Structure 1
Amino acid sequence: MSTDATPQEERPYDLSEMRRASSLVLVNTGDGKGKSTAAFGTILRAVSQSWPVAVVQFLKSGDWNTGEEKVCRELGVQWFSAGDGFTWDSDDLDESRAKAIAAWEFSAQLIAGGEYRLVVLDEISYAMTWDWIDAAEVAAVLESRPEQVSVILTGRDMADEVIDVADTVTEMVKVKHAFDSQILAKKGLDY
């Protein structure tokens, strides 16, 4: 494969001026598939370094029995499914809201407690988009987290306040999705 870029153009920074961070805040957002999947891949990296890891899922309930939950639990990841499913399936949005608020309060304590080197807040963006939890408060908790605690936040339409304090923000862009062709999610690939 040929490229017209010179090595300097590929790396427009001076490595001698780079520093190591004790932790990072990562955001996976956008309309494309792969936000949670990317977070779960990072969990594997963290576990391989013997990091204690916790996941809080804001939408999925404990009834989902996903493959990633099964494997992560086997690897020692603490897993908390705090939601009650997708809001369009909810019989009681007040209960869904209350669960999201409780999940955030629990997550803030997990982060502040410093026991976990990595905390994944899966699909948290929706709770902020729907004004169930305050994005400014989430950003403040991220900024004041213990030095060794990294956090990954996933979900579409991530709040600007969170993007502003994040170290890395990746936007997944949908080019094509099987669901658009009326193909249901596939166990083993999608969950």
Structure 2
Amino acid sequence: MVVQLETPNENLTLSLPYSIEGLVQVFTSTHRSFFTSVMAQALRIAGQGTPVLVVQFLKGGINQGHQRPIRLGQNLDWIRCDLPRCIDTPHLDESEAQALQKLWQHTQKVVCETKYSLVVLDELSLAINFGLIPETEVLAFLAKRPAHVDIILTGPDMPKSILEVADQITEIRRSHQP
């Protein structure tokens, strides 16, 4: 039997006999064409009512930045770096480096505010490997994030230290010859 409440009880809290711990998932591949499957997962989870944040560190070109997130549905916020181009090199000018650092700082801040239950950090491995975001900062962020927040990290050549803290690693390979 299904019962519909006339007025939701916003003060209702559930007490579970255990604590829920978020997972660190890694999606990696030698090529950069698997974001669609990660985005599909984020959309599915957001559609079920879970707040989701997708952060694309190296994508630009649409005048977005963290001040202007795109909202997909009620539960998915999508932000990109406020850059006029997509980053494909470790060589950034000062304004590009600042934009990337602002996005990284914003991401850490909103995750600690516990607004989101799932956070996708797209191409973070490239930002680390390019020397744009320090690997030690990413490891500290993963360690100090709120316990219930799931994190998905994507990108090729994920650093070994991040793979070691991951709960799940998915390597996407092409099974056909070009």
**Residue by residue, what CA displacement relative to the aligned partner does 1:98-135 show, whole Å, maximum 9, x if unpaired?**
22222211111122111100111111111100111111
In the aligned structure 2, how far is the partner of 1:42 from the partner of 1:20?
24
What letter corresponds to residue 93 of structure 1 in structure 2?
D
2:116 and 2:149 in contact (8 A); partners too = yes
1:136 and 1:162 in contact (8 A); partners too = no
**Percent of aligned pairs with the same amino acid:** 30
Greater Cα shift, 135-144 or 90-99: 90-99
Change (3 A) 1:90 1:140: closer
Mapping of residues 1-191 of structure 1, within 5 Å: 22-61=21-60, 63=62, 73-84=72-83, 85-88=85-88, 92-175=92-175
2:89 and 2:130 in contact (8 A); partners too = no
Give the TM-score taking structure 1 as reference length.
0.69
In the aligned structure 2, how far is the partner of 1:174 from the partner of 1:166?
23
Q: Secondary structure at the match of 1:87?
A: coil
In the aligned structure 2, how far is the partner of 1:83 from the partner of 1:90?
16
Gap regions ≥5 residues in structure 2: 1-17
Greater Cα shift, 132-141 or 43-52: 43-52
Change (3 A) 1:110 1:136: same
Higher helix share goes to which structure? 1
How big is the shift at 1:90?
9.8
Gap regions ≥5 residues in structure 1: 1-18, 181-191
1:112 and 1:146 in contact (8 A); partners too = yes
RMSD of aligned C-alpha atoms?
Answer: 3.0
How big is the shift at 1:176?
5.5
What letter corresponds to residue 137 of structure 2 in structure 1?
E
1:33 and 1:174 in contact (8 A); partners too = no
**Residue by residue, what CA displacement relative to the aligned partner does 1:122-159 show, whole Å, maximum 9, x if unpaired?**
11111100111111211121122112211111111112
